[in-house]
Structure 1
Amino acid sequence: MRVQYPLVLSLLSVAQSAPTAETKADFSQLFSEAATSKIWDTARNSLDQLPDRFPDNVPSTGADTGQYIFSAISAWTSGFFPGSLYTLLERNIKYPSHFNLPNNTPDDTYAQLLSLARSWADPLHAQAFRTNTHDMGFLIQPALRKDWELTGNQSSLDAVITAAHSLASRYDARVNAIRSWDSLKNKRHSISDQNTNFLVIVDSMCNLDLLFYAGHHTGNQTLIDIATTHAHTVRRDIVRKDYSTFHCCNIDPATDAIKFQETVQGYKDWSTWSRGQAWGILGYTQTYQWTKDPSFLETARGLADYFVKRLAAARHTHPYVPLWDFDAPSVGGVVPPRDTSAAMVAANGLLLLHQALQGNSPYYDQALRIVGQVMDLSLADPSVGWESILMNATINNNEYSNTPSNNTGLVYADYYYLQFGNLLLQMGYV
């Protein structure tokens, strides 16, 4: 049986062994007025971007420094900002003592927040029919699943189920996997022939939750089997023996032979891209929660232990805020870019893994250590006009990338930051 501790008491054990920076972290910032206001203000002030454009990233240089860059709704990131609004709505409904927004009465806040969340989520319904991307979980689940669960909106559940079938259409029984990318074009590759190439990436593990959710809601075993089979294929072809991960593999669909295993967003093919490792932790933990297959629990633990081991071995300041790639070198004594999105994805995965192990694990303390150092290093000062909650994220810093980008705010880093706070509340740790 899981033992619940107040957050302030559990932090004592963390602080005893953690770097000095962590002891300064104020975990009330997870539920701060400043964080809530950033999401609220962006939602209200950017309604003119709808229905076609959604918050994506916040650059640290150039004319748009500190301001959100908006991407087309087709971008894989478009579900996260509406998801953040629904995360706040959930907090407002279930945990009002941890929802902070100035100058609003409770009734007004709920009505306004639901209206904003629906305004940003409604355009996503049409995205549920897409079969040209594997990112259906990222696009649909953060907002529309929450809309169904919090308000009973049947059209949102219908969109979730439609999206699951759209994702399942990308499954190929010859390779026992869902196709992640239809093509790969950068300074290294120009791959577009789907008859001879089948690209699978580790990120795909976090889209399987959509299939399990829809499969169990509708009694569709095919959706469940596709998700389970894909997870086994990723274990075989992307997870290394030491539980580090490749980012991408290319499979010959005619022979099921691996054509290459490499990275598209990390440092080198042999290295470990930290956000990819984090996607694996979260995705395999979710998959274990649905299947109770011990091989998935073993994989989730192996990935988590590798992630934390690499953090613990770092010798720079705030070592638990991961480098964008664990193997990226310092140049001239300068620490490589960090990735707070990798930190927050991993922290959520570690917390769920701790729950799956019924509280008998080191992963709760490790998750708090990561989040404490993220807050100490990377919470953006509201007074400087930085629109995202967090800084110090990396989109892609690979040498072959057509559009490298680091030291940014990222909409999904903020989403997982807010989600982490809600998970702590749901699990009774605050």
Structure 2
Amino acid sequence: MKLRILLVSLLSTLGYAFPSSTAVDKASRSPGKSVDLGIPQLFSEDTTAKVWRVALNLLNDLPDKYPEKVPDTGANAGHYALEDVSYWTSGFFPGSVYDLLERAVRFPSHFPANNIDRQEIHDQLLDLAGKWADPLHKQALRTDTHDLGFVIMPALRKDWELNGNQKSLDTIVTAAHSLATRFDPRVNAIRSWDSFENKIMNITDKETNFLIIVDSMCNMDLLFYAGHQTSNQTLIDIATTHSHTVLRDIVRENYSTFHCCNINPQTNELKWKGTAQGYKDWSTWARGQAWAILGFTQTYSWTKDPVFLDAAKGVSDYYIKRLNEAKHSHPYFPLWDFDAPTVDGQLPPRDTSSATAAATGLLKLHQILKGDSPYLKAAVKIISQTIDLSYPGDPASLSMSDGKITVTPPEAKWDALFMNATENNNEFAMTMSNNTGIVYADYYFLEFGNALLEMGFV
């Protein structure tokens, strides 16, 4: 077995996309067994230093601006374009910094430090994480967005759990109550978007339109968490009810997913099912399917309702089925939409954010099933093949200078951990964006690594 694992490591170094099925199958049977999964980038100094470098270099943009995506063309190619703190992605980069802090505190053997004093690592990383998290607290009072889970939970949940910061827990609870104001009992759901506009649609009237998107499943974690922290059954019931509505109206019979649906709240009539970011209304947008994997897995972990376990397994099996059916190279690195066509021999764009979010959800589902599942093996294949095509060769390392931890080199060729994300490639979108780095692809990659550590697989 040792010889097999060493061989797998060698093959991975040489660029082979598939990690050892023997090693992964062993881990599947023995959830606590540490194995070499053949993904050295998960815990490399490069990975740590790249996130640390962005956190240092963009401090002056706080409290208003946060990293969102890295374009591959234009004057700012290779460097983060920033969005306002109110944008739905603002919580992911602080969450990435807290993922590093969690590794430093809980899993120090997987936090490469180049002989830097561990206390210095903890203290400086804690300070850095706090600076990135602090502006998020003011977002908790917003009632104009369903994305408070994405904004609040990645950083502030870890701040509460790692550091016992009562302010962060209070903010989580406040945000949950803000999100709950968007629940409409006539529809049995939380309103996702107040409006939607592209080149062929313009939905603005909230009296006759109620938009729900599959992404919303991942924001239910905020309600469940705050509900259980404060014994508030109303928050728990709202999240559960919303999840049932998404399952009914957005998940198809074969467990593929629509991106959006629109309901008339006055009559509860279903007016439209379709997509804003995928290929066609009838197609399956890959990141939407990943949101469903992660969201229904989280919902089952809170409710233990077998309906949600069946949903989590169904959407996961569909995702894996489509990967297995792909005929192109690296089939486990998903296209941005499973039904997007190849045109003149050119593959459609892929999407690292779908890959890392789906892999994280599959890993959590594998844990729920106590190792009796195919989902760990699939998750590792997804991450491995995504790295093979999308992890840039841009080495970085940590060092000490004048009492401060710094990153060498101080500037990057490519700010994000990954390339080849697709934000929106729909033909009718007001703005199309593909082949970028994207902040949430990196966040879920770090989450995937931390989940492996938590489960004892590495």
Shorter-chain TM range is: over 0.9
From the superposition, tell whether residues 427 and 296 of structure 1 become closer, same or farther in structure 2 (CA, over 3 Å). same
Aligned to 1:200, the other structure's residue is in SS state strand
1:417 to 434, 440, 445: 445
From the superposition, tell whether residues 10 and 291 of structure 1 become closer, same or farther in structure 2 (CA, over 3 Å). farther
Aligned pairs for 1:147-162 within 5 A: 147-162=159-174
Question: Is residue 341–residue 412 contact of structure 1 (8 Å, CA) maintained in 2?
Answer: yes
For the pair 1:371 / 2:383, whether they are aligned, the reply is yes
2:94 to 79, 82, 99: 82
Q: Which residue of 2 aligns with 1:286?
A: 298
From the superposition, tell whether residues 355 and 184 of structure 1 become closer, same or farther in structure 2 (CA, over 3 Å). same
Distance 1:426 1:149 in 2: 14
For the pair 1:136 / 2:148, whether they are aligned, the reply is yes
2:279 to 256, 267, 283: 267
Q: Which residue of 1 aligns with 2:220?
A: 208
Distance 1:9 1:132 in 2: 51
1:394 to 407, 417, 422: 422
Give the CA deviation at 1:10.
12
Aligned to 1:304, the other structure's residue is in SS state helix
1:377-401: CA deviations, max 9, x gaps? 1112215711100111000000111
Distance 1:103 1:126 in 2: 38
Q: Which residue of 1 aligns with 2:58?
A: 46
For the pair 1:21 / 2:17, whether they are aligned, the reply is yes
Aligned pairs for 1:126-275 within 5 A: 126-275=138-287
Q: Which residue of 1 aligns with 2:80?
A: 68
Distance 1:92 1:350 in 2: 25
Aligned pairs for 1:2-13 within 5 A: none
**Unaligned stretches of 5+ residues in structure 2:** 21-36, 396-411
Distance 1:187 1:265 in 2: 12
Instruction: Give the root-mean-square deviation of aligned CA atoms.
Output: 1.9
Distance 2:167 2:81 in 1: 30
Aligned to 1:89, the other structure's residue is in SS state helix
For the pair 1:325 / 2:337, whether they are aligned, the reply is yes
Aligned pairs for 1:95-114 within 5 A: 95-102=107-114, 104-114=116-126
Distance 1:79 1:11 in 2: 39
Give the CA deviation at 1:21.
2.6
Distance 1:404 1:217 in 2: 40
Q: Which residue of 2 aligns with 1:277?
A: 289
1:214-253: CA deviations, max 9, x gaps? 0000000000000000000001100000000000000000
1:289-324: CA deviations, max 9, x gaps? 000000000000000000000001111111101000
Give the CA deviation at 1:190.
1.2
Distance 1:104 1:47 in 2: 22
The residue type paired with residue 452 of structure 2 is L
1:116-145: CA deviations, max 9, x gaps? 100000000000110000001000000011
- Alignment size in residue pairs: 421
For the pair 1:406 / 2:429, whether they are aligned, the reply is no
Identity score, percent:
62
From the superposition, tell whether residues 381 and 223 of structure 1 become closer, same or farther in structure 2 (CA, over 3 Å). same
Give TM-score, length-normalised by structure 1.
Answer: 0.95
The residue type paired with residue 182 of structure 1 is D
2:363 to 351, 361, 364: 351
Distance 1:10 1:117 in 2: 36
Give the CA deviation at 1:358.
1.0
Distance 1:140 1:33 in 2: 27
Distance 2:311 2:74 in 1: 42
Give the CA deviation at 1:100.
1.8
Distance 1:247 1:132 in 2: 20
Question: Is residue 36–residue 101 contact of structure 1 (8 Å, CA) maintained in 2?
Answer: no
**Unaligned stretches of 5+ residues in structure 1:** none
From the superposition, tell whether residues 222 and 365 of structure 1 become closer, same or farther in structure 2 (CA, over 3 Å). same
Distance 1:304 1:10 in 2: 30
Question: Is residue 19–residue 380 contact of structure 2 (8 Å, CA) maintained in 1?
Answer: no
Distance 2:137 2:159 in 1: 12
Distance 1:337 1:386 in 2: 19
Q: Which residue of 2 aligns with 1:312?
A: 324
For the pair 1:427 / 2:455, whether they are aligned, the reply is yes
Distance 1:135 1:182 in 2: 12
For the pair 1:296 / 2:308, whether they are aligned, the reply is yes
The residue type paired with residue 329 of structure 1 is P
Distance 1:385 1:61 in 2: 13
Distance 2:344 2:60 in 1: 45
Distance 2:349 2:456 in 1: 34
Give the CA deviation at 1:104.
2.7
From the superposition, tell whether residues 172 and 66 of structure 1 become closer, same or farther in structure 2 (CA, over 3 Å). same
- Greater shift, 269-278 or 376-385, is seen at 376-385
Give the CA deviation at 1:101.
3.6
1:344-375: CA deviations, max 9, x gaps? 00001100111111110000111011011111
Distance 2:47 2:199 in 1: 38
The residue type paired with residue 239 of structure 1 is V
Question: Is residue 17–residue 381 contact of structure 2 (8 Å, CA) maintained in 1?
Answer: no
Give TM-score, length-normalised by structure 2.
Answer: 0.89
Question: Is residue 19–residue 381 contact of structure 2 (8 Å, CA) maintained in 1?
Answer: no
Question: Is residue 238–residue 245 contact of structure 1 (8 Å, CA) maintained in 2?
Answer: yes
- Over 3 Å off, 4+ runs: 8-12, 23-26
